[in-house]
Amino acid sequence: MSSFKLDRVLEADSMLVSKLGLCQLRLMNDSRWPWLLLIPQRPEAEEIYHLTPLDQTLLTFETCETARALKQVTGCAKINVAALGNQVRQLHFHVIARRTDDAAWPKPVWGVGTAIPYDRGKADGLKAAIVDAL
């Protein structure tokens, strides 16, 4: 794992929440949606099938646990999980808490408005709550 390097775009757009068994768990710096990223710490992984079967299973587990924790912490109406990779090729999953009154509902959050960065205290509080829920 020492050769794993986080994509610079993901690093710039998010903040570390925790390192799980396989993935870095990160919070996107956009306070409009509680939006987490799971990035498998495997060098050169761009697609799920680039992971070993065991890592695929662990990714599924970590995704489900992250979604559960995010739902518990936010009380949101829906959890969206996506892995696109069109702009950032490094394999990563988006886990987003959605509300029926959010700015993009019911459409995807991509390309809607301009990101509103977290203030430090609010981000730290959300990160701590997610870690506690995990």
Does residue 39 form part of some domain?
yes
Does residue 3 form part of some domain?
no
Q: pTM (2 decimals)? A: 0.95
Tell which residue, 25, 34, 36, 29, has the closest CA to residue 13: 29
CB 95: neighbour CB atoms within 10 A?
25
Domain extent, residue 36, equals 8-133
Q: How many CA atoms lie within 13 A of 64 on its CB side?
A: 6
User: Tens place of pLDDT for every residue, the chain, 134 residues?
Assistant: 469 999 999 999 999 999 999 999 999 999 999 999 999 999 999 999 999 999 999 999 999 999 999 999 999 999 999 999 888 999 999 999 999 999 999 999 998 999 999 999 999 999 999 999 99
Q: Structural domain tally of the chain?
A: 1
Does residue 1 form part of some domain?
no
